[in-house]
Structure 1
Amino acid sequence: MSTTDWLKPLQHILNCPIHVHTISITEWAEVVKGADALWPAELNAYNPVEGQRAEKQNKLYFVAALSEHAVEILDIEPSGLSQPEKDLISWTLQLVRGGEAESKKMSSISETERNALKLSEWIQLQLEEAEPAYSLPDHLVVGSRLFNDMIPFLLVTEQSNTKLATFSELEKLLRSFLSDDVLLIPLKSQEWLIWGPMSLLRDEETDSFDDLEEETLEDSLESICSGLHEMLASEWIGECHLAVAHPATPAKGIVETTILLRETINLGRKFHVGTNIHMPWMLQLERLLNAIPEMQRSKYLEQSLKRADMFVEPEMLSTLETFFTLDCNVSETAKKLYIHRNTLLYRLDKLKQETGLDVRQFRDAVLVKIILLLYKVTKRN
């Protein structure tokens, strides 16, 4: 249905003039930024949808239709419109124009993307349930591929004000890096669930995964994740976060794995700002600390930092983080920091004198590690 088919009837019903303009998405964003009122209140300026509205300088603007780079808007003088009438126009545009756009979109996408959207819809529904179903229903299990073990990744992009890649663009990139046997599921506008084949883990000299030790498996997953992140960051969307988990069977564990990967990225972004690659097995302590009420965390940190503020000195923070990353190895830490071994020992002895905590002892190292993690979160809050 074209705009002219319903514009005159709408003008007659509202008894006020309505003008139609086509503007760029950037111009629409400027309207939103300077608006006196928005609907919905958390309106995303760079990702408009049909029915959204902005009120600015005694003008009411509705998003009527969208194209790749432009927005068709209705320009109405709101003086004679009640709140229910405004809501009714938004709802009608959402229902009619949004439905037309979705229908057109669905008719133009591939069968692979259509199946991915069905999986996404089911996953989102389960994530909102108090007791989700963890196994996929029969009508969503296409072929036998989802019954095979696969490697799960969760990708979260950062730039909301840039043009997002389409499903086909991202799938093409993933197939070039991982393999043709990749499953891509869009969850949110900036969140993608990716399942890669187990062949990524296969050593050239063996066809079996049974001999892989757990540590070796995790090292391999981290290496794959690192390479995938580097490719996506340089060739696709730029800044992004990527998490990987142990292999699982999508048909039986797709919801549980999605929950785990989301938690992993949230913990990584919360406790390790500046880190973009996240593994659940590296965030066990962070998961435990995150479960403690914030008030108790802050109280413990306040009591700990009263003993000395040396923990928060940039040089000491850098020293301790490197020391813990390298498993409390003095020689390797000194090399990494480009300092003499005795210089490092002097810093650790000074910390012990000021706080009574010797990080070369396991018990004290754990306490200091907890203090550092809590300090990072509390400082940002």
Structure 2
Amino acid sequence: MKEDKIKIIRVPLQEIENMVDDQNALLLLEKEDARIYLKTGHNKDLLTVEEVYEIVNTLKDLLVKNESKEDNLTEWLYRQWKSKEKYIENESSRYFNSMNWSQGWIPLIFIKQSKGSWEDGFIKLISSYLNVELFTVTISTSTMMTIVSNMELQFSKEKKDDISEFVQGIFEMLQNEWDEEVKVGVQYPAFCLQDVVDFGHQLLDDEKWVMNLWPKISFFTPWSHQLERIIAKVPREELNKYLAEYKLVDNELLKTLEVFIEESLNMSETARRLFIHRNTLQYRLDKVKQQIGLDAKKIKDAFLIKIILLLKDGLDSMHKNDNQ
């Protein structure tokens, strides 16, 4: 039996009846939406023992080739994301032609602070939780990209709530199951190779502000944290100049402002969360107004205060990293 006569084919359920009378098709696996067949060179009932061994060896060769192809694919993406080169169509097609683009692929990023290598156990945990086809690309000791099949998830750009719940679920699972804090970012489903590369660059660009605002971030999406992304592009010297005009050093006032903004400027909810009387809260807000000239109860001033708090957190983190 020649090797080129042995093929593995995937047949959707609606086409199964076409395989009923095929004497050369050997059923290997039944799935919910399809069946996997082994196509032989002649009638499956007439296979000899030697031919069965030959089929097994051919399957082994196919598995080795698939593993090699995935290695090439992840290596190619690694080069693209590290160098920021524009992808080369002819080169990339060798690795990506076999991918199913009709349903799309979802780029994810995992970010940690430690400099140790990513453990195999982490990748196995992600694979087990998601239970879909995926592959990973390790970018650095602190960053790993994962490309997840959208075939079962069926996300689209319009399903923002579903995508948010998806990435939040991954973050919360890691909090419970993994012994190190890991931040998680997601992008829209990519329906072509160019999107995979571009979305990956965007996620990697997010790493900087996520690291600077580490305690404030859990997971992020393309439509969340827009202010943080803008601030991350401002040079440090400019940030220092801006903050010099609004000096807030009292930790009690800083915490009060943070909660007040989180509660959408609601006095009662803020006082409840801080376990203080409304009069005490009013006193603190008045004190802020005296110090920096901004009234936190006014939306325009509250927005500026939000920026100040983000800048302070980011600069504090930068200074901390400089001293390490």
Normalising TM by the smaller chain, what interval?
0.5 to 0.7
Aligned to 2:95: 140
Q: Which amino acid aligns with 1:148?
A: Q
Cα deviation, residue 158, structure 1: 3.7
Alpha-carbon distance between aligned partners in 2 of 1:142 and 1:235, rounded to the nearest angstrom: 36
Q: Is the 8 A contact 2:132 2:148 kept in 1?
A: no
RCO (CA 8 Å, sep 6+): is it higher in 1 or 2? 2
TM-score scaled by length of structure 1 = 0.58
2:233 equivalent to 1:291: yes
Corresponding residue of 1:120: 74
1:157–1:241 Cα contact (<8 Å) kept? yes
Structure 1 unaligned spans of 5+: 1-106, 203-208, 306-310
Residues 247 and 322 of structure 1: CA distance in aligned 2, closer, same or farther (over 3 Å) = farther
- SS for the counterpart of 2:245 is helix
Q: State the shift of 1:145 in Å.
A: 2.1
Aligned equivalents of 1:186, 1:378: Cα separation in 2 = 28
Q: Matches of 1:221 and 1:131 in 2, distance apart?
A: 28
| Structure-2 change in CA distance of 1:246 and 1:111 (3 Å) | same
| 1-structure distance, mates of 2:69, 2:280 | 59
Alignment of 1:227-376 (within 5 A): 227-236=169-178, 238-249=180-191, 251-273=193-215, 275-305=217-247, 311-376=248-313
1:330: Cα distance to partner?
2.9
Pair 1:180-2:122 in alignment: no
Partner of 1:205: none
* Two-structure CA RMSD over aligned residues (Å): 3.2
Q: Is the 8 A contact 1:229 1:242 kept in 2?
A: yes
The SS at the match of 2:215 is coil
Post-superposition CA distance 1:306-365 (Å, at most 9, x none):
xxxxx3211111121222223333333333333334432332233223332112212211
Partner of 1:157 in structure 2?
112
Q: In structure 1, what residue type is equivalent to 2:291?
A: E
Q: Distance in 1 between matches of 2:107 and 2:188?
A: 7
Q: Comparing 126-135 with 371-380, which one deviates more in the overlay?
A: 126-135
Letter in 1 for 2:81: L
Where 1:185 maps in the other structure, the secondary structure is strand
Taking a change above 3 Å as real, the CA distance of residues 191 and 303 of structure 1, as seen in their structure-2 partners, is: closer
TM-score, normalisation: structure 2:
0.67
CA distance in 2, matches of 1:119, 1:236: 28
Displacement of 1:274:
5.3
Share of identical aligned residues, percent? 30
Task: Give the whole-Å Cα distance in 1 for the aligned partners of 2:195 and 2:182.
Answer: 25
- Distance (whole Å) between structure 2 residues aligned to residue 325 and residue 219 of structure 1: 20
CA contact (8 A) 2:133 2:149 kept: yes
Once residues 258 and 222 of structure 2 are traced to their aligned partners in structure 1, the CA distance between those partners, rounded to angstroms, is 19
CA contact (8 A) 1:116 1:184 kept: no
Q: Alpha carbons of 1:349 and 1:198: their partners in 2 closer, same or farther (altered >3 Å)?
A: farther
Change (3 A) 1:336 1:245: farther
* Contact residue 181 and residue 196 of structure 1 kept, 8 A: yes
Map of 2:7 onto structure 1: none
How far 1:199 moved relative to its partner? 6.4
Q: Could you tell me how far apart the structure 1 residues matched to 2:211 and 2:168 are?
A: 16
